[in-house]
Structure 1
């Protein structure tokens, strides 16, 4: 299969988003604050099993009681006649307060996964509602909503299993269907409240979250960006006059970069951005090589 096709099929949205997402600076906050945002200076070790069971029980109880009380008694929310409890929030509680170390339970997944699923479910219902006989097709709408929300969560790296139920409910539950578009901010608010409580309760004896956006080292990405800037500016004179070459003699699986040569196998189909990165890396090597040679030139002159 062509390398470009493989690149498209192996698409990862984080390769684009992580370029603009700032790295975490939670460690710079005062310790009482950084602790309840999941940061630990020492290596984290999960407490004993019964301690985990206790905090899981307490977190799920307080989280769902808080959401239920808001739905039932808050004047600004009660007027929309929400259900007693959105069932998918119960599944979220298990992740938010029990399996808190899994990627599926991290804030990005918990918030965006639920919100994307609620939005998907409402849109699918609205589309099926255009059919005068839509009630006979609710079971189809539920299946479509779940499948589409699953695809969206997977594509955006926000997989949160309870989101599937959130999408299905938006197409099959009469109370939620009656809410219409307002269902989306309800889910977003509920997820945010449960996340806030998770940060409070889970960090008393445990540690949550493991990360807020991604486990990747975003600081490293920033260093690479700075390196590229240095390569294009400081080494401009050294880069001038040099060129890249394609070769069929080099190892077919290897790109070879040296200060004066850059070999790219003919089988590699690289776009402009990828070629620019290789050029910048070569420029940095050339710049370092020139700096190393300068002291030798001075010593030979003397």
Structure 2
């Protein structure tokens, strides 16, 4: 099913366009604004291996050390970050791996997971049915991630853990700051390692035009037929036999039913053609 509404429909028009290109080159490179050149696969494999090791080791080192989290029964690492590492260090161009998805997806799911688990803990019957708490947490968090356009699959485990893991339940609300620290650190490592021979992130907030750029794109778009329609920056043309992608427009046959993820991919490719990194 294709969802035509996300929070982006409301707030993208009020967000500023990308300003990363104005920063000093070392900072801009760290934030993903630089050009790359093709390299042999084995260099990327080495980068993936080193980045995954460093990212997971950093999280384990932080929570294994004598910090405030140790006083609140924190585990060495939250298991869902193993899956986050695969996305952030391997599939760095995927929308699911972008900083917004990692940060917002993990945090929203953690809040939902803890809140629902707390509600079930209020009664003896609820405590006897944490299986329902876990299932409800995953369902609600998945829906909210779709609405906020920040789907991050590993976050489903983050929503589930407060209900099924006794150690996480004992952490109570301290589970939330642990999630925030973990998300920030894994994105931080991805920014360092992902910008050595590749580029990360593909965008910070959305691949679609933001703020004033929305109006600018509309003004330079190619002429459309009276029967054409537009959806999230993609122009649907009746009878078109191919997908046409340029710096000013994305033309798609009206008969092709695109998902939100497919639209994000097309917008990401368009922004790659433009050059500047979208916010």
Corresponding residue of 1:195: 187
Q: TM-score when scaled to structure 1?
A: 0.68
**Which of 151, 156, 161 is the aligned partner of 2:148?**
156
5+ residue gaps in structure 1? 1-8, 226-251, 256-302
Unaligned runs of 5+ in 2: 219-225, 230-279
Correspondence for 1:22: 16
**How many angstroms does 1:21 deviate by?**
1.4
Q: Deviations over 1:165-184 (max 9, x none)?
A: 00000211111111111111
Give the counterpart of 1:36 among 30, 49, 53. 30
Deviation string, structure 1 residues 166-223 (Cα, Å, up to 9, x no partner): 0000211111111111111110111001111110111111110000000012251264
What TM-score does the superposition give when structure 2 sets the normalisation length?
0.74
- Once the two structures are TM-superposed, the CA of residue 75 in structure 1 deviates from its matched residue by 2.2
Q: How many residues align?
A: 221
SS at match of 1:50: helix
Larger Rg: 1
Per the TM alignment, residue 133 of structure 1 is displaced from its structure 2 partner at its CA by 2.7
Give the secondary structure class of the aligned counterpart of 2:74: coil
Distance 1:132 1:120 in 2: 21
Which structure is higher in helix share? 1
Superposition pairs of residues 231-270 of structure 1, within 5 angstroms: none
Match of 2:52 in 1: 60
Q: Secondary structure at the match of 2:124?
A: coil
Residue 57 (structure 2) pairs with residue 70 (structure 1): no
Give the structure 1 partner of residue 76 of structure 2. Answer: 84
Distance 2:90 2:217 in 1: 37
1:221 paired to 2:236: no
Q: Please state if 1:93 is matched with 2:85.
A: yes
Deviations 1:257-280 (A, max 9, x none): xxxxxxxxxxxxxxxxxxxxxxxx
The 5 Å alignment of 1:62-211 reads 62-211=54-203
Residues 254/163 of structure 1: CA separation in 2 closer, same or farther (3 Å cut): closer
**What is the alpha-carbon distance in structure 1 between the residues aligned to residue 38 and residue 101 of structure 2?**
22
Cα RMSD after superposing both structures: 2.3
- Partner SS for 1:159: coil
Q: Secondary structure at the match of 1:62?
A: helix
Alpha-carbon shift at residue 45 of structure 1 (Å): 4.9
> Which of 1 and 2 has higher RCO (CA within 8 Å, sep 6+)?
2
